[in-house]
Amino acid sequence: MQIFLDGEWYSRETAKVSVFDHGLLYGDGVFEGIRVYNRRIFRLEAHLDRLYDSARALALTIPMSLVEMAETVREAVRRNQKEDGYIRLVVTRGVGDLGIDPRKCAKASVFIIVTDISVYPRELYARGIKVITAATRQVAHDAFDSRVKSLNYLKNVLAKIDAQQSGADEAIMLNSAGYIAECTADNLFVVRHGKLLTPAPQDGALEGITRGTVLELAGEAGIHAAETRLTRYDVYTADECFVTGTGAELMPVTEADGRLLGEGKPGPVTRKLTEAFQALVRHEGQALW
């Protein structure tokens, strides 16, 4: 494994960040998770646009141009010869003194890891996962914009603990008003009366790349899709439910808070969109070698 770190390439054993890095000390930074399929990086441009937008929102200057970053990500994949894999691209505020003052950090730090990922066991894709509603809430939209993909994931970790302690695979996170925001690391979709519905960013949903792709595929397939406010009632009474994410891809949900959803197995819309997604990612874009 070769890891890019601030202009140099290191092995897994030698790649180190400082204990004074503000990404470690204060979660001050942004990141992207990106998939590689069939030697192709899936929607790299969209991921980088979101990364740079997140950085701008945090007044964080990335010390590489967008073009330089894109080529470095491609080089990282080539060096690691990953035909199928996962890229973790991280930008931190950089090394500074103790204290949160970002002016103490002279330059942001960038590192890129190319590895494998398996969010859920493969067998769960055939039968679906169980979810619960977490006690932990999403941060209110008027406090922090959910469109910023920052390193601050403690609330998500706590919600994941809620799921694990309940014997579930994933947790739904509500916002302060009780509407569904997202899951701990995934966006959520329901199918009700032939319509595909997902929470809007205003309710705390990250504008996921996979989420956006699924909405596009639904439109191409003639499936009515919309962003809307959802409550747990909409999940409990859904004909189908699934979550999406770069790591998870499309994962069916067949039980929520102890309630069987639909027929208790992945439904036809979920299967159709999963097939369309898998066909797209294997062939979209140019192979790196």
Q: Is 33 strand, coil or helix?
A: strand
Examine the domain organization and report whether 147 and 44 are in the same domain: no
Final residue of a structural domain among 76, 97, 115:
115
pLDDT digits (tens, 9 = 90+) for 88-105: 999 999 999 999 999 999
The Cα–Cα gap between 87 and 73 comes to 8
Fill in the DSSP letter of residue 201.
G
Final residue of a structural domain among 80, 98, 115:
115
CA dihedral for 232, 225, 201, 89, sign (positive or negative): positive
In a domain, 65, yes or no: yes
Examine the domain organization and report whether 66 and 172 are in the same domain: no
- What CATH number corresponds to the domain at position 78? 3.30.470.10
- Tell me what the mean pLDDT of segment 61-83 comes to: 97
Quote the crossing angle between the two packed helices 209-220 and 268-283, to the nearest 10°: 110
pLDDT at 42 over 90: yes
Residues spanned by the domain of 56:
2-115
Residue 25: count of CB within 10 angstroms of its CB: 18
In a domain, 289, yes or no: no
In a domain, 238, yes or no: yes
Examine the domain organization and report whether 14 and 62 are in the same domain: yes
Examine the domain organization and report whether 129 and 80 are in the same domain: no
Examine the domain organization and report whether 49 and 136 are in the same domain: no
Examine the domain organization and report whether 95 and 186 are in the same domain: no
Q: What are the residues facing 31 on neighbouring strands?
A: 90
In a domain, 263, yes or no: yes
pLDDT for res 141: 80
Q: Would you call 82 a catalytic residue per the annotation?
A: no
Examine the domain organization and report whether 247 and 159 are in the same domain: yes
**Positions of E strands within the chain:** 2-5, 8-11, 29-37, 40-41, 85-92, 109-115, 129-133, 170-174, 180-183, 187-192, 195-198, 225-227, 240-245, 249-256, 259-260
In a domain, 48, yes or no: yes
* Whole-number average pLDDT of the chain: 96
Which tokens belong to 286? 């140019």
The Cα–Cα gap between 215 and 226 comes to 8
- Tell me what the mean pLDDT of segment 197-211 comes to: 95
Examine the domain organization and report whether 99 and 137 are in the same domain: no
Examine the domain organization and report whether 71 and 144 are in the same domain: no
- Tell me what the mean pLDDT of segment 150-164 comes to: 96
Examine the domain organization and report whether 51 and 171 are in the same domain: no
Total count of domains within the chain: 2
Final residue of a structural domain among 89, 115, 141:
115
Examine the domain organization and report whether 37 and 177 are in the same domain: no
Residues ≥6 apart with Cβ < 8 Å to 92:
17, 21, 22, 23, 24, 28, 29, 108, 109, 151
pTM: 0.95
In a domain, 288, yes or no: no
Residue 152: count of CB within 10 angstroms of its CB: 15
Q: What is the dihedral of CA 190, 191, 193, 196, to 10 degrees?
A: 100
Examine the domain organization and report whether 72 and 174 are in the same domain: no
> Which residue of the set 16, 149, 160, 272 is catalytic?
149
- Tell me what the mean pLDDT of segment 271-289 comes to: 95
The Cα–Cα gap between 281 and 150 comes to 25
